[in-house]
Amino acid sequence: MPEKPVEGECVIALDVGGTGMKGALLDRDLTALRTVRRPTPRGAGPQAVVDEIAATLLLLARQAAERGLAVRRAGVVVPGIVDEESARAVYSANIGWRDLPLAELLEQRTALPVTLGHDVRAGGYAEAVRGAARGARDVLFVAIGTGISAAVISDGHPLRAGGYAGELGHLVVESDGAPCGCGSRGCLETAAAAPAVAAAYRARTGRAVEGAHQVAVLLAQGDPDAHAVWQRAARALATALATATTLLAPELIVLGGGLAEAGELLLAPVRTALAEQLTFQRQPRVVRAALGDEAGCLGAGLYAWQAVGSGLAGAVAP
* Residues facing 38 on adjacent strands: 21
Contact, 104 vs 118, CB < 8 A? no
Q: Which of 84, 30, 85, 34 is nearest to 56 (CA)?
A: 34
**Dihedral sign, Cα of residue 61, residue 63, residue 68, residue 72:** negative
The answer for residues whose C-beta is within 8 angstroms of residue 136's C-beta and 6 or more apart is 128, 153, 251, 252
Residues 44-63: what's their mean pLDDT? 96
DSSP letter at 193?
A: S
* Bridging pattern class, strands 157-159 and 252-256: unpaired
DSSP H helical segments within the chain, as ranges? 46-66, 102-110, 119-130, 189-192, 194-205, 212-220, 224-248, 264-277, 295-308
Helices (H) and strands (E) in the chain, counts: 9, 13
CA distance 307 to 176: 45
pLDDT per residue as tens digits for the range 131-168: 999 999 999 999 998 889 999 999 988 888 888 899 99
Q: Give 71-82 pLDDT, tens digit per residue.
A: 999 999 998 899
* Banded model confidence at residue 1, pLDDT cuts 50, 70, 90: very low
Q: How far apart are CA 10 and CA 25, in angstroms?
A: 6
| 4 within 8 A of 64, measured Cβ to Cβ | no
Domains and CATH numbers, the chain: 9-123+293-308 (3.30.420.40), 135-289 (3.30.420.40)
Residues 199-230 pLDDT 10s: 999 999 999 998 999 999 999 999 999 999 99
**pLDDT value of residue 258:** 87
SS3 of 96-109: CCEEECHHHHHHHH
Question: Is the CB of residue 87 less than 8 Å from the CB of residue 78?
Answer: no
Predicted local distance difference test score (pLDDT) of residue 310: 63
CA-CA distance, 98 to 280, in Å (whole number)? 40
Q: Give pLDDT tens digits for 232-264.
A: 999 999 999 999 999 999 999 999 988 999 999
d(CA 114, CA 307): 9
Q: How many CB atoms lie within 10 A of CB 172?
A: 16
Residue 4 pairs in a beta bridge with none
The closest of 18, 228, 44 to 144, measured between CA atoms, is 18
